[in-house]
Structure 1
Amino acid sequence: MALAIIVQKSAAGEIRDPGAYFRGMTERHRAGLLHLDKSICALLTNRRSSNGNPVPTPFQPAAQRAWNRCNAEEA
Protein backbone atom coordinates (compact mmCIF):
# COMPACT_ATOMS: atom_id res chain seq x y z
CA MET A 1 0.00 0.00 0.00
CA ALA A 2 2.81 2.40 0.85
CA LEU A 3 4.36 2.00 -2.58
CA ALA A 4 1.02 2.54 -4.31
CA ILE A 5 0.57 5.76 -2.34
CA ILE A 6 4.06 6.90 -3.29
CA VAL A 7 3.43 6.13 -6.97
CA GLN A 8 0.20 8.14 -6.94
CA LYS A 9 1.72 11.10 -5.12
CA SER A 10 4.82 11.06 -7.31
CA ALA A 11 2.75 10.95 -10.51
CA ALA A 12 0.72 13.91 -9.26
CA GLY A 13 3.91 15.87 -8.55
CA GLU A 14 3.21 15.97 -4.83
CA ILE A 15 6.59 14.53 -3.83
CA ARG A 16 10.05 15.22 -5.24
CA ASP A 17 12.02 12.25 -3.93
CA PRO A 18 10.06 8.99 -3.62
CA GLY A 19 12.95 7.30 -1.79
CA ALA A 20 13.05 9.97 0.87
CA TYR A 21 9.27 9.87 1.18
CA PHE A 22 9.42 6.08 1.68
CA ARG A 23 12.13 6.44 4.33
CA GLY A 24 9.93 8.95 6.11
CA MET A 25 7.04 6.51 5.97
CA THR A 26 9.16 3.73 7.48
CA GLU A 27 10.30 6.06 10.27
CA ARG A 28 6.67 6.98 11.01
CA HIS A 29 5.79 3.26 11.00
CA ARG A 30 8.51 2.49 13.53
CA ALA A 31 7.24 5.29 15.73
CA GLY A 32 3.66 4.03 15.40
CA LEU A 33 2.58 7.17 13.58
CA LEU A 34 1.94 5.83 10.07
CA HIS A 35 -1.72 5.75 9.09
CA LEU A 36 -2.00 4.46 5.52
CA ASP A 37 -5.78 4.41 5.70
CA LYS A 38 -5.81 8.18 6.13
CA SER A 39 -3.44 8.57 3.19
CA ILE A 40 -5.70 6.45 1.02
CA CYS A 41 -8.77 8.43 2.09
CA ALA A 42 -7.01 11.65 1.17
CA LEU A 43 -5.99 10.26 -2.21
CA LEU A 44 -9.54 9.16 -2.94
CA THR A 45 -11.15 12.41 -1.91
CA ASN A 46 -8.60 14.60 -3.67
CA ARG A 47 -8.29 12.70 -6.95
CA ARG A 48 -10.94 14.13 -9.24
CA SER A 49 -10.86 14.72 -12.96
CA SER A 50 -11.79 18.07 -14.47
CA ASN A 51 -15.44 16.93 -14.76
CA GLY A 52 -15.56 16.03 -11.06
CA ASN A 53 -15.48 12.26 -11.48
CA PRO A 54 -13.06 10.20 -9.38
CA VAL A 55 -9.82 9.25 -11.10
CA PRO A 56 -9.25 5.47 -11.05
CA THR A 57 -6.25 4.29 -9.06
CA PRO A 58 -4.12 1.16 -9.53
CA PHE A 59 -5.00 -0.03 -6.03
CA GLN A 60 -8.77 0.25 -6.37
CA PRO A 61 -9.85 -2.82 -4.30
CA ALA A 62 -7.78 -1.83 -1.26
CA ALA A 63 -8.70 1.80 -1.76
CA GLN A 64 -12.39 0.90 -1.78
CA ARG A 65 -12.02 -0.88 1.57
CA ALA A 66 -10.26 2.16 3.02
CA TRP A 67 -12.91 4.46 1.58
CA ASN A 68 -15.61 2.37 3.23
CA ARG A 69 -13.75 2.68 6.57
CA CYS A 70 -13.46 6.46 6.12
CA ASN A 71 -17.17 6.81 5.52
CA ALA A 72 -17.97 4.56 8.47
CA GLU A 73 -15.82 6.72 10.78
CA GLU A 74 -17.62 9.90 9.68
CA ALA A 75 -21.07 8.43 10.33
Structure 2
Amino acid sequence: DWPVYYEDPLQIADPYANSQPTEYIPRKPRQTSRRTGNYPYYCEQCGNGYQHRKTLKRHKKLECGKEPQFK
Protein backbone atom coordinates (compact mmCIF):
# COMPACT_ATOMS: atom_id res chain seq x y z
CA ASP A 1 0.00 0.00 0.00
CA TRP A 2 0.99 3.55 -0.68
CA PRO A 3 1.11 5.88 2.29
CA VAL A 4 -1.76 8.32 2.54
CA TYR A 5 -0.37 11.77 3.19
CA TYR A 6 -3.68 13.62 3.29
CA GLU A 7 -6.83 12.00 4.48
CA ASP A 8 -8.98 14.97 3.57
CA PRO A 9 -8.33 16.80 0.27
CA LEU A 10 -9.18 20.09 2.01
CA GLN A 11 -6.07 19.71 4.15
CA ILE A 12 -3.85 20.23 1.10
CA ALA A 13 -2.25 23.64 1.35
CA ASP A 14 -3.67 26.08 -1.16
CA PRO A 15 -1.29 28.99 -1.78
CA TYR A 16 -4.22 31.24 -2.73
CA ALA A 17 -6.51 30.36 0.17
CA ASN A 18 -5.20 33.06 2.52
CA SER A 19 -4.53 35.71 -0.07
CA GLN A 20 -6.49 38.90 0.32
CA PRO A 21 -8.12 40.38 -2.76
CA THR A 22 -6.10 43.24 -4.13
CA GLU A 23 -7.64 46.67 -4.00
CA TYR A 24 -9.34 47.59 -7.24
CA ILE A 25 -8.18 50.94 -8.53
CA PRO A 26 -10.23 52.02 -11.53
CA ARG A 27 -8.24 53.51 -14.36
CA LYS A 28 -8.84 57.15 -15.11
CA PRO A 29 -10.74 57.37 -18.37
CA ARG A 30 -8.46 58.74 -21.05
CA GLN A 31 -9.78 61.66 -23.00
CA THR A 32 -8.96 60.96 -26.59
CA SER A 33 -7.70 63.77 -28.75
CA ARG A 34 -10.46 63.11 -31.24
CA ARG A 35 -13.05 63.89 -28.63
CA THR A 36 -11.38 66.95 -27.15
CA GLY A 37 -9.83 68.30 -30.35
CA ASN A 38 -6.51 68.95 -28.58
CA TYR A 39 -3.63 67.74 -30.70
CA PRO A 40 -0.04 68.56 -29.81
CA TYR A 41 1.17 68.38 -33.44
CA TYR A 42 -0.37 70.26 -36.36
CA CYS A 43 0.52 70.33 -40.02
CA GLU A 44 1.42 73.90 -41.06
CA GLN A 45 0.32 73.26 -44.64
CA CYS A 46 -3.18 71.81 -44.20
CA GLY A 47 -3.94 72.20 -40.47
CA ASN A 48 -4.57 68.53 -39.68
CA GLY A 49 -3.83 67.64 -36.06
CA TYR A 50 -2.01 64.56 -34.83
CA GLN A 51 -1.43 63.03 -31.43
CA HIS A 52 2.09 61.77 -32.21
CA ARG A 53 4.99 63.50 -33.92
CA LYS A 54 5.82 60.43 -36.00
CA THR A 55 2.27 60.43 -37.41
CA LEU A 56 2.66 64.08 -38.42
CA LYS A 57 5.98 63.26 -40.12
CA ARG A 58 4.34 60.40 -42.03
CA HIS A 59 1.49 62.71 -43.04
CA LYS A 60 3.91 65.34 -44.36
CA LYS A 61 5.93 62.75 -46.26
CA LEU A 62 3.13 60.68 -47.78
CA GLU A 63 -0.19 62.50 -47.64
CA CYS A 64 -0.02 66.28 -47.41
CA GLY A 65 -0.64 68.16 -50.65
CA LYS A 66 -1.37 65.00 -52.64
CA GLU A 67 -4.61 63.82 -54.17
CA PRO A 68 -6.27 60.90 -52.34
CA GLN A 69 -5.38 57.55 -53.94
CA PHE A 70 -8.71 55.93 -53.13
CA LYS A 71 -12.26 57.18 -53.23
TM-score of the two chains, using structure 1 as the length reference: 0.20
Higher relative contact order (CA 8 A, sep 6+): 1
Structure with larger Rg: 2
Q: Which one has a larger percent helix, Structure 1 or Structure 2?
A: 1
